[in-house]
Structure 1
């Protein structure tokens, strides 16, 4: 999941009927976090010769991790603000 998955996390929390507000808020916050670095490690170790659209897989995965990390800064700030004021 990545920072743009916040609406999906909100929809899943509502669909599951998470009645426990702190649990629902943590679930929603976790869906907005950036992707982990573990996929980069796996790409380097097990698929370093694979390419995606002409780009080496480790580089492709690294760009995705960097992008979601940079995007998550403003997104997480907004999500925390929304959760603090109780809109969700």
Structure 2
């Protein structure tokens, strides 16, 4: 790489090296530490929370959901 730089001085070579080699690492670091967006919870059928809780209760009563699954889904809906 240095063979093609011609009459560039030391400062220019250092700046060019920083841009060529440093920028990709800086972008990678930024991508790794950037603030994450919180997940968005959207009700698929547009029903109210009460309707969703009633559906969960029905599934739990039918044995489709275990107690742990029911509690997890209920917490998800209420928060």
Q: TM-score, normalised by structure 2?
A: 0.28
Q: Higher helix share goes to which structure? A: 1
Greater relative contact order (Cα 8 A, min sep 6): structure 1 or 2? 1
Structure with the greater alpha carbon radius of gyration: 2
Q: Higher strand share goes to which structure? A: 1
Q: TM-score, normalised by structure 1?
A: 0.26
